[in-house]
Structure 1
Amino acid sequence: MSGDSLLLNLNMSKIQFHIGLITISLVSACKTSAPPQQTVTEAQPLVEIGKEQFSIDDYQDSYNKNKFASDSTKALSPEEYLPLYTDLKIKVLQARSEGKDTTLDYREEIASYRDQLAKNHLVDKDLVEKLTTEAYDRLKQEVRASHILVGVSEDASPADTLEAHRAAIALRGRLEEGSDFADMASRFSKDPAAKTTRGDLGYFTAFQTLYPIETAAYTLPVGKISQPVRTKAGYHLIKVNDRRTNRGMVRVAHIMVTVDTAGTPAQKESAKTRIDEAYAQLQAGDEWNLVVEKFSDDRESRKNGGLLPLFGTGQMVPEIEEAAFALTRPQSYSKPVLTMYGWHIIRLIEKRPIETFANMAPALRKKVVTDSRGKVIEQANATRLRKKYALQEAPEQWKLVAALADSTLRTGKWDYQRAVSADWSTVTLFRIEQRPYDALSFLNYVKRKQTPRPKDASPEVVFRRHYTDYLTESLMEYERDHLEETNPEFRSLMNEIREGVLLSQIMEEQVWQRSLSDSTGQRSFYERNKERYNYPERALATIVTAKDTQTLNSVRKSLATSPYKLERKSKELLFPVNSVEIGNEQLDALTDLYIIMQKNADYVVEIAGYRSADEPEITSSTRVRNVVKYLNARNIPILRIIEKDYGSFRQSAEPERNRRVAFQFFSQSKSDVEKVYNADAPGAVTIREGYFPKSDPLLAGFKWQTGEQTANASGTFTWLNVAKIDPPRAKTFSEARGTVINDYQKELEKQWLARLQEKYPVKVNAQELEKVKR
């Protein structure tokens, strides 16, 4: 093991130690368990450490969270957990005695943890869960709906808002009397797309439109028209046209020939001819990837055989979406399809049904608090806070402040200093639990938060909205600042976090860093305990697993000689007759080649040059040299390049390919071989190499001998190649150093703890300990 690897492993162990303490706390934060029971009788300390006393409640809380600390399958008894508890408290007491809880770093770290954890306690988890379940139920269906928008700003005056609402009611009346919805949408809707779409929103599911519109669409029967639905844009009338089961997700690959919508008829016809030619080659049996490379203009997907990301309804242009879902058999492909981007041939890769709720729930919970549902959560939270805390508003003072609203609020350039008529710092707008909030703070809030508003926005309504937002944010800030006082669970959590940070800091100083830097102590510990550090009998071997024998044999063939030939190539360069220069036509392919070489440090590329029989002999080698110069100029060294000049040998049936430069990749790394085989089917191949003890599960079923062996178990084919078998032997200090340092850490900690136990004697109240519940 290298020194860098060793240091990384030790640092990781420290991080995991620290995070482990925090994780216990984070997990507990997500639980809804009741706070620790309060003792009714006069509290007796359970443990006295030095001059500090610790209650049975503190011990019970710690025990409940950590009783599986030693063995995840077996709980410690209260008596068995006691030494762990007292040792931790002793270390924390020592850290405090050294003033580690007063440093700026410590305070900043605790503040950071507090901010993160407080967020979990400021959200209505029941409401989030309700919205998450509702969203998943809606995702099972897709709805097709139309809408008509009567436009009015959310900040419009009450009179303008009422007028818009009446107009929406009147429109609904005409629709109920039989007027055509699409015609009315085209004539009256303020949606800019309505002239084209005639109000049709197409099929959609949860999260794909505003929550109020989604809710109306999912609650209305097919064919019915909603009452006016309010959003920021105005009032909507929603008509549900159809419902269907969610079609799930689909992954496709495509060949795309771009079409310039402003191009000439000849250019458009040329694009159509190209896509038809690609389709004809597929029909003739040509390989999909080769046709993609030859015809597709989509540079990104062309690198991966035209593969596109998974998508569902409403996430792709409609023509591609419909063509994709119409395909039923994997690897089948569509006829050419025209979209706004050009012509496409769609090939089905896979279809997936909607995932289970258990799998989707974490992502859905994040979505419900960030999409337009977040407004529902915010409003519910505001209502809860107004009920929870004693709030006193001052209507008369508000009237004085409200008089400052003017038309500059629409442009986002409002400034209260233009009309100073009072010392606003002395005017109290409201109180939360007797804490006053002055008008000056609110006015500065408005200056900071203001943004340009629509022309029909009312300054008075905008100003009042700012006041409501400021009041809600003040209530949230008050709750955040007083969480320890109002929430016993959060208070317990923060106490545990503080102890965890102190523990990590003092362990770093007294144990972890000392064990790393004390090389003399490491060596001495190794010499005293040599018998601990031994290698068993081991085999130096390569183990390959695959899903079928054909793949397994292909991998074995790849690994036969080093560097290993990879089943991966880059697009060829084709040159005009007698041309050797790198032009724009060759740059795309060379850029792809450079990116591959840059991303894969162990790759070596063979660059093979060809020429047609009637070209000068030097032509093919010059083409190779120009490619090499291109790569060298971009810091790909000559050591990673193999040059081959095949001249006019190996003539191709396609004349233009006789004037080519082709590329074949090799690698010194077996992991690169594994990656190539897993590129299209993750997990299809695994390659492991190194020393393996006889007890290793990977060697189960194989004979303990050198040479090659194969096996087939449960549909997995395995090839084992044992180069040699080493007898048991003692590890050198260098080989054992990682384990030595871990063991040395334990000894240092034991010695340090023994000194602390003398400084902080422990007294246990045996009668109280019997009361601790398992």
Structure 2
Amino acid sequence: MKIKHLFYFLSFILTSLFTVQAQEEEVLFTVDNTPVLASEFVRVYNKNLDLVKDESQKDIDGYLKLFINYKRKLQEAKQLELDQKPSYLREFENYKKQLAKNFLADNKVTEALVEEAHKRLQTEINASHILIKIDENASPQDTLEVYNKILNLRDRVINEGYKNIQQEVHNGKTIFAEDLGYFSAFKMVYPFENAAYNTNVGEVSKPFRTRFGYHIVTVLDKRKARGEVSVAHIMIKTDQDNTQNSETKINEIAKRIEQGEPFDALAKQFSEDKSTASKGGLLKSFSSGEISSPIFEDIAFSLKTVGEVSKPFKSQFGWHVIQLKAKKDIASLEEMKPQLESRIKRDSRSKVINDFRVKTLKEKYTITENTNDLNYFKSIINDGFFDNVWSLPLNFEAEKIFLKIQDKKLTYKDFGQFLLKSQRNYNNKSSKISVILDKLYETFLENELQKYQEENLITENIDYAQIVEEYRDGLLLFDLMETKIWNVSKTDTVALKAYYNAHKNNYFYPERVNAVVASSAKKNIIKKVSKLMSNGGDFETIKNLVNTKNQINVTFSSGEMDKAHQALPKNFIFKEGISKIYKHNETYVVVNVLNILPKSPKTFEEAKGRVTSDYQVFKEENWLKELAAKYTVEINEEVLNKVKQVLKK
């Protein structure tokens, strides 16, 4: 009996597999006889399902309409030969190279670098260094001379002290002796970082080389990294004409916090950082070096306990008070892994990954090379190379085989053209040509090995092939939209004005008030302010009566405000005169409405941004109708039903 059940189960699995496999090869619809496979639609639908915000787009039929429009646009782009544009082809090739790195890099090497970086991020190093600059292509004799110089300086630093040597040797041109302050992983080129982290506090590293020259680094201190901090802030902007008023206002707000009023409530009312005011001033958490204001960062990290508030201070953005919300150490390796992988690809560590990849490719592919071929090029190259005027000789045997990778033949012409393009990067006549040529040959071989692997990758890796195809289409679609919709919408002023004139009622300033808003945590104080306002008291007089140097009871805001303004209570009724007292953001407010500014139309120039956006939508809708008439779509209903069954499981 069990065997019978197993037979039915296996039959069911095999039938399901055959169904899916068949569906992968079936055509869902055609656009002017160009087939679109069901498998592509299923893959794209599943991939984008969580990204769409409109619930109607999650409906299979609704999404199919979007997908058909997408395919019509691509057909139009190809009809216009946008896929032949040099700029398009260039960008696409660049993307393929970048994408290939994700599929070709050795994961074990990357993982080791990720773990190392995470460990180093937990320690900050304070160091000084000495650098003697030298060209990367210097002769062995010049290299040895510089190495001996840096070795001598190392001995002197050890015996005489860094500061004495710094003043003597630093010239800012060929020799640099600098204090670097604290840094951690990713702040320096990778060889420098290695030397710093592998040198003990109080010691001087052995000489090491980077692309800049030879260095020694003196490690002064190592400390635990400060981790990550979360703070809220209240900011009052400053300008040259308003510095004193801004400082007065931030001090008033700080006093109210000191008196026990909620920080977030005051931030909602008064902070001029519009991106955080509505959230009570809360900023995204950050670590050392992520904030562009050092004073802001230092004060944020100086706060010790959650809820602690700083004294008012000034940054390049304005006056602030900060409240500590949370503090935590460097995140775990698991949490940081995606971020670290991304940084490593952009960092000089990427050379480690690349070097390992090249080593692997040299072992993987059969390379046929001949030393005499490289010697030939050494015999024909001359000093014109440094002036970017060197050329290949007239009797140059362009079609002669220079190198083979597997079955791919590379000719003298291939390497010769590579040298011609490379000479623009070499203008230092003190460099030794034979050294440069050896390096250029290695670079050429590395490039060709990687190119050979990339050329075969699209047939070896289906994930890579699908992503490449998606980007190809996405880039093409972007160019099409820019050509047909976006650029036209921005440059066709006549059409924009006509659209504006036909839809003027959509573009207006809402009703506003010119008002003074008084806010206090104490209802009796606001009652007093309301009475003083009713008796005709002016702004400054009332302020001086209710506030003192040591006691800030009321904060005033004034100017034009619409119903959504942060200082106004919700559902505030616009009416000239003194309002009733409202409870708003855990405080009490009273509003003196000086006058009401009615709803008024915006001019074309005032509304141009919104008009442009609306016109683009309008133009695209009409354009899609034209494409629908131009490109016939035929849907295979039988295949569509199969797709729906697969997607609904």
For residues 362-441 of structure 1, the aligned pairs below 5 Å read: 362-402=338-378, 414=388, 417=391, 420-423=393-396, 425-433=398-406, 435-441=408-414
Aligned match of 1:171:
153
When residues 138 and 85 of structure 1 are mapped into structure 2, their CA distance, relative to the original with a 3 A threshold, is same
Match of 2:452 among 478, 488, 491: 478
The equivalent residue for 2:165 is 184
Give the match for residue 247 of structure 1. Answer: 226
* Letter of the structure 1 residue corresponding to residue 360 of structure 2: R
- Cα deviation 1:592-622 (Å, max 9, x = unaligned): 969xxxxxxxxx9867354579xxxxx9585
Say whether the 8 Å CA contact 1:248–1:352 is kept in structure 2.
yes
Distance 1:88 1:571, change over 3 A: same
Q: Is the 8 A contact 1:228 1:235 kept in 2?
A: yes
Identity rate, percent: 27
Q: In the alignment, residue 378 of structure 1 is paired with which amino acid?
A: N
Aligned residues: 463
Confirm or deny that 1:310 pairs with 2:285: yes
**C-alpha distance in structure 1 between counterparts of 2:571 and 2:211, whole Å:** 58
TM-score (norm 1): 0.49
SS of 1:144's equivalent in the other structure is strand
* Larger deviation, residues 327-336 vs 446-455: 446-455
Contact kept, 8 Å, 2:516 with 2:593, in 1: the verdict is no
Residue 175 (structure 1) shift: 0.9
Please point out which of 14, 36, 44 is paired with 1:82: 14
1:351 Cα deviation (Å)? 1.5
Paired with 1:433 and 1:445, the residues of 2 have a C-alpha distance of 20
1:136 corresponding residue in structure 2: 118
Which residue matches 1:745? Answer: 641
d(CA) in 2 for partners of 1:156 and 1:361?
A: 39
Q: Structure 1 residues 280 and 186 mapped into 2: Cα distance closer, same or farther (>3 Å)?
A: farther
**2:187 counterpart SS class:** coil
Structure 2 Cα separation of the partners of residues 136 and 407 of structure 1:
47
Question: How many angstroms apart in 2 are the aligned matches of 1:443 and 1:285?
Answer: 77
Q: Secondary structure at the match of 2:398?
A: helix
Residue 364 of structure 1 aligns with an amino acid whose one-letter code is L
Map 1:493-642 → 2, pairs under 5 A = 494=462, 608=574, 610-611=576-577, 623-625=596-598, 634=607
Q: In the TM superposition, what is the alpha-carbon distance from 1:465 to its structure 2 partner? A: 3.8
Shift of residue 118 of structure 1? Answer: 6.1
CA shift, 1:249, in A, is 0.8
Code of the aligned partner of 2:574: A
* Cross-structure match for 1:234: 213
- The aligned residue for residue 672 of structure 1 is none
Per the alignment, do residues 246 and 496 of structure 1 end up closer, same or farther by CA in structure 2, a change over 3 Å counting?
closer
Q: In the alignment, which residue of structure 1 is the partner of 2:583?
A: none
- TM-score, with structure 2 as normaliser: 0.57
Deviations 1:561-596 (A, max 9, x none): xxxxxxxxx99965799xxxxxxx968x779969xx
**Contact persistence 1:250–1:312 (CA under 8 A):** yes
Unaligned runs of 5+ in 1: 1-73, 485-489, 502-569, 578-584, 595-603, 614-618, 638-740, 751-774
Letter in 1 for 2:228: M
CA distance in structure 2 between the aligned counterparts of 1:177 and 1:250, rounded to whole angstroms = 41
Q: CA shift at 1:150, angstroms? A: 1.9
Tell me, in whole angstroms, the C-alpha distance in 1 between the residues paired with 2:107 and 2:362. Answer: 18
Shift of the 429–182 alpha-carbon distance from structure 1 to 2, 3 Å rule, reads: farther
418, 442, 447: which one aligns with 1:468: 442
C-alpha distance 229-89 of structure 1, shift in aligned 2 (>3 A): same
Q: Alpha-carbon deviation of 1:178? A: 3.1
CA drift of 1:312 comes to 1.1
Q: Which residue is equivalent to 1:225?
A: 204
Structure 1 residues 622 and 363: alpha-carbon distance in aligned structure 2, compared to 1, 3 A threshold: same
CA offset digits 1:235-281 (Å, max 9, x no partner): 22112222233332112233456778xx8xx9988876665555444
Give SS of 1:206's match. Answer: coil
In the alignment, the residues of structure 2 paired with residue 311 and residue 571 of structure 1 have an alpha-carbon distance, to the nearest angstrom, of: 38
- CA deviations on 1:419-449 (whole Å, 9 max, x unpaired) are 5434352243322235321232234345556
Superposition map of 1:181-220 within 5 A: 181-185=162-166, 187-189=168-170, 199-220=178-199
* 1:124 equivalent among 93, 106, 115: 106
Question: Is contact 1:397-1:427 (8 Å) kept?
Answer: no
Task: Write out per-residue CA displacement over residues 133-179 of structure 1, whole angstroms, 9 at most, x where no aligned residue.
Answer: 22222223233222222222334444443333222211111011132
Provide the secondary structure at the position in 1 that maps to 2:222.
strand
Q: Do the aligned residues in 2 keep the contact of 1:430 with 1:438 (CA within 8 Å)?
A: yes
Q: Alpha-carbon deviations, 1:542-577, whole Å to 9, x = none?
A: xxxxxxxxxxxxxxxxxxxxxxxxxxxx99965799
SS in 1 for 2:105: coil
Quick one: which amino acid aligns to residue 429 of structure 1?
A: F
Q: Please say if residues 124 and 183 of structure 2, whose CA atoms lie closer than 8 Å, have aligned partners that are also in contact.
A: yes
Supply the AA of the counterpart residue of 2:182: Y
Amino acid at match of 2:598: R
Letter in 1 for 2:144: L
Map 1:352-371 to 2 at 5 A.
352-371=328-347
Residue type at the aligned position of 2:13: Y
- Preserved contact between residue 254 and residue 307 of structure 1 (Cα < 8 Å): yes
CA–CA distance in 2 between the matches of 1:495 and 1:272?
Answer: 58
Q: Is the 1:391–1:433 Cα contact (8 Å) retained in structure 2?
A: yes
Cross-structure match for 1:154: 136
Partners of 2:203 and 2:218 within 8 A in 1: yes
Q: In the alignment, is the contact (CA less than 8 A) between 2:235 and 2:319 conserved in 1?
A: yes
SS at match of 1:147: strand
- Could you list the runs of 5+ residues in structure 2 that have no partner in the other structure? 1-5, 44-91, 470-510, 518-535, 537-557, 580-591, 611-636
**Contact 2:513–2:574 at 8 Å: present in 1 too?**
no
What displacement does 1:409 show? 6.5
Q: For residues 221 and 434 of structure 1, what CA distance do their matches in structure 2 show?
A: 51
What is the SS of the residue equivalent to 1:322? helix
Q: Call closer, same or farther: CA 1:80–1:404 in 2, change over 3 Å.
A: same
Pairwise CA distance, 1:381? 1.6
Q: Secondary structure at the match of 1:227?
A: coil
In 2, are the aligned partners of 1:142 and 1:203 still within 8 Å (CA)?
yes
1:671-750 equivalences in 2 (<5 Å): 745-746=641-642
Shift of 1:234: 1.9
What residue in structure 1 maps to residue 481 of structure 2?
none
